[in-house]
Amino acid sequence: MSDPFVTDFDQVSLQVGEGFNLISKEEYLKIPATQRVRQILDRKVQFLNEGKVVPTKAALKTLQQRKMSVIDNDTLSEVSNQAKENS
């Protein structure tokens, strides 16, 4: 049975300046992991499936399920440390 809190996505909307750009899932996954994490923390990302907005957590879980992880733990720690140093 499929998990209702896991939703696949095919496009990603990224905020750039005041506007947004729409890119495919493949293009999104080419962005460096640290940058992707930063974008999620800065709330500049919306995931879409067939033209409808998908909850961020549900989209991230899809990546987990498919073993296409958005980020590994080392990168996350690095970003977290950087954020702490900056603050």
The residues binding other proteins (CB under 8 A) are 10, 13, 15-22, 37, 40-41, 43-46, 48, 50-53, 55-57, 60-61, 63-64, 67, 69-73, 76, 80, 83
- Residue 11: CB minimum distance to other proteins, A: 8
- Residue 21: CB minimum distance to other proteins, A: 5
List the one residue out of 86, 87, 64, 76 whose CA is nearest residue 38. Answer: 76
Of the two residues 35 and 57, which places its CB atom closer to other proteins in the complex? 57
Q: Which residues contact 68 (CB under 8 A, 6 or more apart)?
A: 29
- Residue 31: CB minimum distance to other proteins, A: 14
Structural Rg of the chain based on CA atoms: 13
List the one residue out of 57, 47, 46, 59 whose CA is nearest residue 15. Answer: 46
